[in-house]
Structure 1
Amino acid sequence: MAEFSDRQLESLTSARVGHLATADKNARPHVIPVCFSTDGRYIYSVLDQKPKRTALTRLRRVKNILANPQATLLVDHYEEDWGNLWYIMVSGRANLVMEGPEQTTAVALLREKYRQY
């Protein structure tokens, strides 16, 4: 569970993409861009049903989280005016939420943020 300032929460809510870093059991890193949402306490990135070349449980990020649940999400904003640059880095324990009320909440938050869902 994270505690965010109002400014951080506003930035997380408006940001369109984050970069999720996981590592396997041998500490080999893996970073991917992700859509994400937050309820102000937790950050969710949903494994959706878009066409994938592999089963969800075989995705590298999923295998990494199962082997080593420590993860980091980096959300940043870049402009040519460097006075407007910012980033938020959140590190913690990742969990897979495959069903239940928390999964329903995560999907609802994602749909609210991204019209594609």
Structure 2
Amino acid sequence: MPKMTGDEARERFARARAATLATADETGRPHLVPVTFALSGDVVVFAVDHKPKRSQRLKRLDNIRANPAVALLTDAYDEDWERLWWARADGTARVLPAPESSAASAGYAELLTRKYARQYGPTPPRGHVVEIAVTRWSGWRAV
């Protein structure tokens, strides 16, 4: 089965519309959550947006503050298993302030708003932004 090069994994990852974020707390307990994201070079970003949340204190942010090692996974499933693939980004994350108080966060929020223009419309993300410096791209494809 063909393993992807890092460049191919990055390219497939960049085209994806959503990823699964894996974080772990200070004890190593894993936590998975879907995220929308944007890519800038080898930096993946996502933000806390206006979608309803159970709490404003998000486990993913607490985990990143306690343990900044993260992984993100994108994939494509198809009943034709020759079309299967996955791409992964491993990296180090940091929680940035909301866009209103950080130029870096504002730039990332703009990047996210461009990628998800239909979904965000006139309401760009206003919450914390997470910046992930990718240290390794990996992936697999069926053929």
- Answer whether TM exceeds 0.5 for this pair: yes
Larger radius of gyration: 2
Of Structure 1 and Structure 2, the greater strand share is in: 2
- Determine if the alignment matches structure 1 residue 71 to structure 2 residue 70: yes
Mark the runs of 5 or more structure 1 residues left unpaired by the alignment.
none
User: What one-letter code is carried by the residue in structure 1 that aligns with 2:21?
Assistant: L
Mark the runs of 5 or more structure 2 residues left unpaired by the alignment.
1-5, 121-143
2:114 to 90, 104, 112: 112
TM-score after normalising by structure 2: 0.70
Q: How many residue pairs get matched?
A: 111
User: For residues 42-61 of structure 1, what are the structure 2 equivalents within 5 Å?
Assistant: 42-55=43-56, 58-61=57-60
User: For residues 1-117 of structure 1, what are the structure 2 equivalents within 5 Å?
Assistant: 5=7, 7-55=8-56, 58-98=57-97, 99=99, 100-114=102-116, 115-117=118-120
SS in 2 for 1:45: strand
* Alpha-carbon distance in structure 2 between the residues aligned to 1:109 and 1:17: 15
Q: CA RMSD in A?
A: 1.6
Identity between Structure 1 and Structure 2 (%) = 41
User: What one-letter code is carried by the residue in structure 1 that aligns with 2:78?
Assistant: E
Structure with more relative contact order (C-alpha pairs < 8 Å, separation 6 or more): 2
TM-score after normalising by structure 1: 0.84
* Alpha-carbon distance in structure 2 between the residues aligned to 1:79 and 1:102: 38
| Structure 1 runs of 4+ with >4 Å offset | none
SS in 2 for 1:53: coil
User: What one-letter code is carried by the residue in structure 1 that aligns with 2:91?
Assistant: G
